Amino acid sequence: MNRGYTYTEIIGGRGEGRALLAYLAERYGHTSEAGWRERIEGGLVLLDGEHCDPAQVLRRKQILAWRRPPWNEPDVPLVCAVLYEDEDLLAVAKAAGLPTLPGGGFLEHTLLAVVRRRYPGASPVHRLGRGTSGIVLFARTPRGRSALSLAWREHRVTKVYRALVEGCPARADYTVEAPIGLVPHPVLGSVYAAVEGGKASKSQVRVLKHEDNTSLVEVLIDTGRPHQIRIHMAACGHPLVGDPLYASGGAFRSEAPALPGDTGYLLHAMRLVLPHPGTGLEFRVECRPPAGLRTEAER
């Protein structure tokens, strides 16, 4: 069981003029209205540091804080391997199934918590989806954090992934440029998918081998939209094998609604190339793919 957590937000236009109970029940739908009423009346919800009433009308710039009592988090692999470290940066290998950051019911069962037990000041400069394995970079100094963040914003980071996809692409090398944006989702309200009017996105795909109506592919991305490879491979007709959310063509699968954090697919962040934050020289780090994503020569 973890230690619980206090969530804090500043009321903006979305909440101004609304009753506290109605606002919480709509914004944080993981808890029922009855559950929120119980929390408010039990003193677990504060406005500007004071106890409040469920019917209290919210004002802009009020500080809303609510305490989530300790809870048992789902079991995940609470390990990572150090691939590289120096005074500015740390590269670790994340296991599939381990969330990078808190969210979705995870607080201490995260890569961030695992890394900070050994490197207390380390901060991730990007993230991988829970079901994705491979390289995650952490900054260890303000200089490292600033330089790495700038490299990401300026698209000076080359990211290479391995994935197992459905079907056999017609071409050995091709590019997917479907824009990515938010679309309606029956549980979360909205999630990222391929959508007209979304943000520009580009994935370069190279087919490594075919086997039993599946293909092993290597994907290079310059942009880094949420779930980009899962979305782009689905959009071009070759979703990741075992992906519970994205289906061929880019729509959601018709079965019971899945969440973006659900696992079951094989996707691995294999290589990063970027300017080193200390020297400015090209820095490369690699992480060996899991068995299901290796070529014959790599086995």
Q: Which fold has domain 155-265?
A: Pseudouridine synthase (3.30.2350)
- Taking only the tens place, the pLDDT of each residue in 105-163 is 899 999 999 999 999 999 999 999 999 999 999 999 999 999 999 999 999 999 999 99
Q: Which of 123, 156, 129 is nearest to 141 (CA)?
A: 123
All CATH 3.30.2350.10 domain ranges in the chain, comma separated: 155-265
> Distance between CA atoms of 253 and 189, rounded to whole angstroms?
16
- The single residue listed with the structure tokens 């880094």 is 224
Rounded to whole angstroms, what are the CA distances from 205 to 192, 215, 238, 249, 253?
20, 11, 11, 16, 23
Question: 194: which strand partners?
Answer: 180
Each residue's pLDDT tens digit, 165-207: 999 999 999 999 999 999 988 877 789 999 999 999 999 999 9
> Is 0.85 topped by the overall pTM?
yes
Max CA separation in the chain (angstroms): 66
> Class of the 5-68 domain?
alpha beta
Judge whether residue 257 has pLDDT over 80.
no
User: In the chain, which residues fall in CATH 3.10.290.10?
Assistant: 5-68
Cα four-point dihedral sign 285, 287, 293, 299: positive
Q: What is the pLDDT of residues 259-275, one digit of tens each?
A: 889 999 999 999 999 99
Task: List C-alpha distances in Å: 242 to 135, 214, 250, 298.
Answer: 21, 11, 15, 23
